[in-house]
Chains A and B, each alone.
Chain A
Amino acid sequence: MTVALIIMAMAALPENTERLLYEAHAAYHQGDYAQAIETYTELQFAHDLKSPALLFNLGNAWFRSGALGRAILHYEAALSVDPDFNPARRNLDIVLEQTQRKLPMPAPRLVDERFLARYYPLTPMQSLLAAHGCIVLALILLAWRHWRPEAPRFWPERVALGIGLVLYGLTLGANAVVADAPLPAVTQLSEAPVFFSMNETDQPRFLLYEGDRVLVDRLEGDWVRVVAHGGERGWTRRDNIGIVRHAVR
């Protein structure tokens, strides 16, 4: 009985997802962007869809409803899931043209002063794959040397293994750096004041405008510390900005 129920639920889930997707598309095409956003968001969280295409559609819906900041946030989220997702990049460029300052995203390497963050060119996944490749190569060379006793040297597999171990060490380091890296974020309000400290009674240090892209390097309760393009830092309310990683979850 239980198994039957589970099978039925599993069979019903794609149909439900498909129906909701159809409803969201229909709402979007009819100009009911609020409904489209609601349905896409439900699909994202309740149905655990995290595809770049869904995030891209959300970006479009937010843009059509006039929220440039949220549109940019979702395009950035789509690109964070798939950096080669060109539709999101294209639309992001169009929407950025309509923001007040068209600020580029601050480069995390300029903000993060750690050596690997600045100079290591590979992502943790690329580095891990390279490490695996070297270890597998070492295995193949070892086997080749055994089956072909005339193979003269012992060093190729050692070199491959050594490079693999170094790459693995760099992978661990790069992963720690990425896990602790500043988070890309997008300003959501038309004007978000940024203060020297977590005190709203201070004179604002500078203003962020809707759609401005920043990096968040600290989160403290309701406050976040942002780094704007050009390296200016300051504290602003967490509600004023949207963090790209949170938009994906």
Chain B
Amino acid sequence: MRFLFCMLIIMAIVVPVAQGQNPVSASISKDQVAANETFTITISASGGDIKEPDLSAVIGAGIQLGSPSHQSSTSIRSVQGATTVVQSRTWRYPASIDQEGLVTIPRIPVTVDGQEYFTPPMNVEVTRGLRIDTRQSEDRDELTVEELALVRSIADKTTVYQGEAVTLRLRLYVLDQYYVNVDGPRALPMPKAEGFYTGPQGQQTATEQVYGRPYRINEFTQVLYPTMPGDLEIGAWNWQGAIRWRDARRRAQGASRVFSTNPIPIKVLPLPSAPEHFSGAVGTFQVDAKLTETMLTQGTPVRYTVTVSGTGNPNAIGAPAAPELPWAHLSGPEVEIEQRGGATEVIKEFSWLITPLNTGEYTIPAVEYVHFAPPIRNFRTVRTREFDVAVQAAPESGEFIAVGGAAEEQRSRIQVFEDGLTPIITDYKSLTASAGPMAGPLRWPALFSPVASLFLLGAVGIILRQRDRLRRDSGYARRYYAKRRCLQQLAAVSGAPDGTDRLYQAMTTFVADMLNVNAAGLTSSDVAALLREKDIEPALISVVARLLRACERARYAGRQAASEEVEALYDAATDAVHQLHDGFREVQS
């Protein structure tokens, strides 16, 4: 007894722990849904090696699943030197159920690290439709989500001949109350129609009462032409969308839904054996012919147009046989198609150019057009009217001009007289002159010529600005000219017999000019004092003072300095002038 009690205690502890280690889990977004309402089944698993979930049991339970979205992440754990790689994967399946009642989503097996784990079973309550809070009294009909928006697929015929037009109407009904709106894919998918050639599409809107309620209808039309006999099918119109509405308290509500119609079977009958000159057209057609004029001139082309109009596949409307005209040259036909969007009505024009080659009175015979007419279940021939024409001789001669599509023998017969052509140019200058290609692309030198103009403009601008400043700013002008004069004087120092004197004079004159004082009698001490007054850097003042003292020593010693010494003084003086110029500019600014 004690042993049994201990075992129960151990089981009570171990089982939850074991359950807690299950690496697979699942959840559903809603446990109560309307029939065909979309909800989400989320499956998560973690481990080293995770296989895809096996959903065959879910599908077997009558649950429709869409394409899942998938997320995965990988983490690396290192515990006491041992490294393990753990993956986490999550699948989200959009699902819907069309049967009412309590539906159990069965256990879903997922293989993790070679071992099969199961998600727990989950229950979903499926109702006929979600009731909407419309604050209507209880005795009135209840409104469900399904009734807010619905789709229908209608074909105008289900038994047709091969090539005969079938108009498919896809209708989306949206309740015109409670601010109902439907969000669908950006481009609604069209039903599959294997064995059909797709014709024009159209779209229109309307309003209609359905089951006593007002609906806005968005209708998409698609014309289909069966290309083969037999039992064909226009597939179901399936797409997923979201319905949004406002309840009686004007609160925004929404629900996802899968919209679906039933496929439409179409029986396609083969055409009976075709007569000669069958144009290939299937439908109801009329033909008409036009001739631009009946009084013709030899060599002058006129246009002859046969118009085929009616309902049918425009691409299957073949050209009628051209009239046989031994007295004229015929070229063409040129083809033009006019079709109204979304409709099966089509107008196709075939036009020929007739160039009369002989004079006389002739008849353009009627053109026959043979097509298959489904209403009479047989082939039908329609005819254009005949045209009586008279061809008069060309005014210039018995020769003629044959226009367009001419065979080589026709071309060799072309002669043109008195055509009004401007004669050739024989002027030598005109023939050897060349004109620039005004409309063509430019060559590189021309293309970048404005850059040179811009440089010129910039240079002129800089020069004029400098001149302007020199004219307006006396302080700047004094500094500018003083420096320039000083540098010119210094340039004359090297090689001169009295180099130190000249250098001394250049430096004192420069400082005097900069400070607008008299240069006569300035000594090195005076210069240093003046510079100190102007808050010039002490190091620079010291350099200038040493320079001037060196010059003074040479003068008072009564000897000329060596050329090397003068060169060194010159270099130091040049540097000092530049630094002093900058120093004065900073001080004055």
Point out the residues of chain A lying under 8 angstroms from B115, CB to CB. none
- Could you list 14 A-B pairs, sorted by A, with CB under 8 Å? A14-B432, A21-B431, A52-B435, A60-B421, A82-B438, A87-B425, A90-B422, A91-B421, A99-B403, A128-B442, A132-B450, A142-B464, A143-B460, A143-B464
Annotate B389-424 by CB proximity to A: 1 below 8 A, 0 otherwise. 000000000000101111100011010100111111
Contact of A142 among B353, B436, B437, B457 (CB under 8 A): B457
Docked Cα-Cα span, A81 to B437, in Å, equals 5
B460 touches A175 (CB 8 A): no
Q: Is A49 an interface residue (CB 8 A)?
A: yes
Docked Cα-Cα span, A53 to B441, in Å, equals 22
Closest CB in chain B relative to A71 CB, distance in Å? 10
Point out the residues of chain A lying under 8 angstroms from B464, CB to CB. 142-143, 146
Contact of B442 among A14, A50, A125 (CB under 8 A): A125
Interface centre among B419, B437, B447, B461 (most CB of A within 10 A): B437
Docked Cα-Cα span, A125 to B441, in Å, equals 8
* Contacts between chains A and B (CB distance < 8 A), count: 140
Point out the residues of chain B lying under 8 angstroms from A35, CB to CB. none
Interface residues of A in 6-54 (CB under 8 A from B): 14, 17-18, 21, 25, 28, 43, 49-54
Point out the residues of chain B lying under 8 angstroms from A52, CB to CB. 435
Known: A60-B423, A132-B450. A83 touches B457 (CB 8 A): no
Q: Is B18 an interface residue (CB 8 A)?
A: no
Q: Is A80 an interface residue (CB 8 A)?
A: yes
Contact of A175 among B421, B428, B441, B461 (CB under 8 A): B441
B457 touches A135 (CB 8 A): yes
Q: Is B73 an interface residue (CB 8 A)?
A: no
Point out the residues of chain A lying under 8 angstroms from B421, CB to CB. 60, 63, 91, 94
B447 touches A128 (CB 8 A): yes
Q: Is B456 an interface residue (CB 8 A)?
A: yes
B411 touches A190 (CB 8 A): yes
* Tally of contact residues, A, Cβ under 8 A: 60
Q: Is B467 an interface residue (CB 8 A)?
A: yes
Point out the residues of chain B lying under 8 angstroms from A87, CB to CB. 422, 425
What residue of chain B has the Cβ atom nearest to residue A78's Cβ? B435
Point out the residues of chain B lying under 8 angstroms from A91, CB to CB. 421-422
Closest CB in chain A relative to B239 CB, distance in Å? 32
A190 touches B404 (CB 8 A): yes
- CB-based closest 9 A-B pairs: A100-B404, A179-B441, A53-B430, A53-B425, A57-B424, A82-B435, A146-B464, A135-B453, A87-B422
A146 touches B431 (CB 8 A): no
Closest CB in chain A relative to B585 CB, distance in Å? 24
A residues near B (Cβ < 8 Å) are 14, 17-18, 21, 25, 28, 43, 49-54, 56-57, 60-61, 63-64, 66, 80-83, 87, 90-91, 94, 98-101, 123-126, 128, 131-132, 135-136, 138-139, 142-143, 146, 161, 164, 168, 171-172, 175, 178-179, 190-191, 209-210, 245, 248
Docked Cα-Cα span, A142 to B454, in Å, equals 13
Q: Is B434 an interface residue (CB 8 A)?
A: yes
Point out the residues of chain A lying under 8 angstroms from B438, CB to CB. 82-83, 123, 125-126
A123 touches B439 (CB 8 A): yes
Contact of A100 among B331, B424, B436, B467 (CB under 8 A): B331
Q: Could you tell me the dominant secondary structure of chain B's interface residues?
A: loop
What residue of chain B has the Cβ atom nearest to residue A50's Cβ? B434
Point out the residues of chain B lying under 8 angstroms from A125, CB to CB. 436, 438-439, 442, 446
What residue of chain A has the Cβ atom nearest to residue B406's Cβ? A190
Contact of B433 among A51, A131, A135, A245 (CB under 8 A): A51
A49 touches B450 (CB 8 A): no
B411 touches A53 (CB 8 A): no
Docked Cα-Cα span, A124 to B448, in Å, equals 12
Q: Is B427 an interface residue (CB 8 A)?
A: yes
Point out the residues of chain B lying under 8 angstroms from A178, CB to CB. 439-441
Known: A51-B433, A143-B464, A172-B447. A94 touches B420 (CB 8 A): yes
Docked Cα-Cα span, A128 to B441, in Å, equals 11
B425 touches A56 (CB 8 A): yes
B residues near A (Cβ < 8 Å) are 301, 331, 334, 353, 401, 403-407, 411-412, 414, 416, 419-428, 430-442, 446-447, 449-450, 453-454, 456-457, 460-461, 464, 467-468
What residue of chain A has the Cβ atom nearest to residue B353's Cβ? A100
Closest CB in chain A relative to B413 CB, distance in Å? 9
Closest CB in chain B relative to A75 CB, distance in Å? 10
Point out the residues of chain B lying under 8 angstroms from A98, CB to CB. 401, 403, 416
Contact of B447 among A82, A94, A164, A175 (CB under 8 A): A175
Closest CB in chain A relative to B449 CB, distance in Å? 7
What residue of chain A has the Cβ atom nearest to residue B419's Cβ? A94
Closest CB in chain B relative to A51 CB, distance in Å? 5
Docked Cα-Cα span, A131 to B460, in Å, equals 18
B404 touches A210 (CB 8 A): yes
Point out the residues of chain A lying under 8 angstroms from B440, CB to CB. 80, 124, 178, 245
What residue of chain A has the Cβ atom nearest to residue B463's Cβ? A146
Docked Cα-Cα span, A139 to B431, in Å, equals 40
Closest CB in chain A relative to B302 CB, distance in Å? 13
Point out the residues of chain B lying under 8 angstroms from A99, CB to CB. 403-404
A190 touches B405 (CB 8 A): yes
B450 touches A164 (CB 8 A): yes
A sample of 19 more A-B contacts (CB under 8 A), given A83-B438, A94-B419, A124-B440, is: A14-B432, A18-B428, A49-B431, A51-B432, A57-B425, A81-B434, A83-B439, A87-B425, A91-B422, A123-B438, A123-B439, A126-B438, A143-B464, A168-B450, A171-B450, A172-B447, A178-B439, A190-B404, A190-B406
Point out the residues of chain A lying under 8 angstroms from B468, CB to CB. 146
Point out the residues of chain B lying under 8 angstroms from A21, CB to CB. 426, 428, 431
Point out the residues of chain A lying under 8 angstroms from B334, CB to CB. 101
A80 touches B434 (CB 8 A): no
Point out the residues of chain A lying under 8 angstroms from B405, CB to CB. 100, 190-191, 209
Interface centre among B334, B424, B442, B453 (most CB of A within 10 A): B424
Point out the residues of chain B lying under 8 angstroms from A57, CB to CB. 424-425, 431
Point out the residues of chain B lying under 8 angstroms from A179, CB to CB. 441
Docked Cα-Cα span, A21 to B427, in Å, equals 10
Point out the residues of chain A lying under 8 angstroms from B425, CB to CB. 53, 56-57, 87
Point out the residues of chain B lying under 8 angstroms from A172, CB to CB. 447
